[in-house]
A and B are shown apart, each in its own frame.
Chain A
Amino acid sequence: MVHKLSLIVNGIKRTVEVKDNEILLDVLRDKLKIKSLKAACWRGECGLCTVLLNGKLVKSCLVLAVEVDGSEIITVEGLVKDGELSPIQRAFIEHGAFQCGFCTPAFVLASHQLLIENPNPSEEEIKEKLGGIICRCGTYLEIIKAIKSASRFYQKK
């Protein structure tokens, strides 16, 4: 059966047709062309397909597309406001918090959500909250620095 989903993706209303067995990750990447999402393991291990689904981080390779009809989805593209990078994106650049960049969209999105929920996280809390995402280049130390330096922007809000 074909289902017509209507979603709000990064603030924009989108409609898309999907079959029962389609995975959200594939629909977002291939049909809605959200290319910041990466697929590396397809089984929940690496976190590179992470999106914000109705305000919660989920790994989209483990979500059926039909499930999310009517939902709001945010990816790293959605953090840009009027062409301006968000503070966490700028902090990643300032601290060189990536090498190949493959994991960066997921880390930026999860770091953003972490700071919204907890604007002043300890190093332990950062490690715990980002534990579900893997950086194969090992840039974790820089990522932690970037989050700490961006935290002041979230505290003011």
Chain B
Amino acid sequence: MSFGSPYFTLPEFTYHKPKTLREALELLEKYGDEAKVMAGGVGLIPFMKERLISPTHVIDIKEIAELKKLEYKKGEGLTIGATITFSELEKYQLLKEKYRALYQAVKLASDNIIRNRATLIGNICEAIPWVDGPIPLIAYGAEVEIKSLDEVRRTPVADFIKGPVEIDLKPGEIVTSIHLPDIPEEAKSGFLKFNTGSEFALLNIAAYLLITAKKKDVRLVYGAISSKPARALEAEKILLRDGDLNALISMAAIKASEELEVISDVLASEDYRRHLIKILTMKLLKELVEEV
């Protein structure tokens, strides 16, 4: 079926299916940068078909029970393991109730057949500038847990993604889970994605909003606008001010459209993306505020 084209076949590699995390880490230690972890394979396999990467060892983590974790603890937050798929997250009632922005992003990521295999952690490890997973995670201040044979470390998702297909992961390391902090009952969050026809977002945005008499906390995160997800820090500050919330939202939306670094590409010009930032910020924040 290959019609003689390499793009339909895979380069040669050795397949491994470790049963425990320890076994996987030993394999990663042994093969170093010749090895790649495979979760759903939805991102890895097309990349290998196109010869963008050609690992000589593929380490399938699907059967590692320790990575199949999906657990919420009050006061601590939500832990999502490395083999949890988008479909599993979609069915997880707590996500819909508590982490709405992530739930909405999960529902809009690709299609429901792909979601049966694709994992959230694979999505952030891909670090393609238009993917949806990282945007709500950064809005919640989520962290990734990374393990190697001799170290465990945690790093915010915002720092983990360094640029297009570039992540803070050394040979021998694996991402074991994502941790979302617990959020107050009064907090609101949401996600919007603007795409035309294909799944490539021209803009995706997540907002986290906590506005009470005692405490204010706001995060606005944007994807698909430049090499990595970005927060609109000046716009966030506007929303922390006292005053008429609707007026502040309009000001913040304009500020966000001006302050962010935005690229032009074949999908949309810089001007068009800035326009989208303004409109979608306004739409998302108004929706969240009306719920309050």
Residues of B contacting A29 in the complex (Cβ-Cβ under 8 angstroms): 1
The verdict on A25 contacting B9 (CB below 8 Å), with A42-B49, A44-B42, A129-B112 known, is no
**Pairwise interchain contact A132-B15, C-beta atoms closer than 8 A:** no
* Contacting residues of chain A (53-71) with chain B, CB-CB under 8 angstroms: 56-59, 61-64, 66-67
Main secondary structure of the interface of A (DSSP, over half): mixed
**Pairwise interchain contact B46-A131, C-beta atoms closer than 8 A:** no
Q: How far is the CB of B143 from chain A (nearest CB, A)?
A: 29
A87 at interface by CB-CB < 8 Å: no
**Pairwise interchain contact A62-B1, C-beta atoms closer than 8 A:** no
Query: 1/0 per residue A86-114: CB within 8 Å of B?
Result: 00000000000000000000000010000
Stretch in contact with the other chain, from B113-121, B203-211, B215-223, B239-247: B113-121
B12 at interface by CB-CB < 8 Å: yes
**Pairwise interchain contact A50-B113, C-beta atoms closer than 8 A:** yes
Report Cα–Cα, A131/B111, bound state, in Å: 6
Q: How far is the CB of B30 from chain A (nearest CB, A)?
A: 17
**Interface size, A (range):** 20 to 34
**Pairwise interchain contact A1-B60, C-beta atoms closer than 8 A:** no
Residues of A contacting B12 in the complex (Cβ-Cβ under 8 angstroms): 19-21
B92 at interface by CB-CB < 8 Å: no
**Pairwise interchain contact A58-B62, C-beta atoms closer than 8 A:** no
A47 at interface by CB-CB < 8 Å: yes
**Pairwise interchain contact B8-A42, C-beta atoms closer than 8 A:** yes
Q: How far is the CB of B45 from chain A (nearest CB, A)?
A: 5
Residues of A contacting B114 in the complex (Cβ-Cβ under 8 angstroms): 44, 59, 62, 132
Determine which of A25, A39, A64, A132 lies in contact with B113 in the assembled complex, contact meaning CB atoms within 8 Å. A132
**Pairwise interchain contact B112-A64, C-beta atoms closer than 8 A:** no
Central interface residue in B12, B14, B111, by most chain A CB within 10 Å? B111
Return the chain B residue nearest A25 by Cβ: B1
Query: 1/0 per residue B23-49: CB within 8 Å of A?
Result: 000000000000000001110011001
Q: How far is the CB of A89 from chain B (nearest CB, A)?
A: 20
A30 at interface by CB-CB < 8 Å: yes
Query: 1/0 per residue A20-35: CB within 8 Å of B?
Result: 1111011001100000
Determine which of A1, A43, A63, A132 lies in contact with B111 in the assembled complex, contact meaning CB atoms within 8 Å. A132
Determine which of A47, A64, A131 lies in contact with B41 in the assembled complex, contact meaning CB atoms within 8 Å. A64
A82 at interface by CB-CB < 8 Å: no
**Pairwise interchain contact B11-A21, C-beta atoms closer than 8 A:** yes
Report Cα–Cα, A59/B112, bound state, in Å: 11
**Pairwise interchain contact B14-A64, C-beta atoms closer than 8 A:** no
Determine which of B10, B15, B42, B116 lies in contact with A56 in the assembled complex, contact meaning CB atoms within 8 Å. B116
Report Cα–Cα, A129/B45, bound state, in Å: 23
Residues of B contacting A42 in the complex (Cβ-Cβ under 8 angstroms): 7-8, 49
B272 at interface by CB-CB < 8 Å: no
Report Cα–Cα, A137/B111, bound state, in Å: 20
Could you list some 5 contacts between A and B, CB below 8 A?
A: A30-B1, A57-B112, A64-B10, A67-B60, A129-B112
Q: Which residues of chain A have a CB within 8 Å of any CB of chain B?
A: 1, 19-23, 25-26, 29-30, 39, 42-44, 47, 50, 56-59, 61-64, 66-67, 110, 128-129, 131-133
- List 14 other contacts, CB 8 Å, given A30-B1, A50-B113: A1-B14, A20-B13, A21-B12, A39-B8, A42-B7, A57-B116, A58-B117, A62-B46, A64-B41, A64-B45, A64-B58, A66-B17, A131-B112, A132-B111
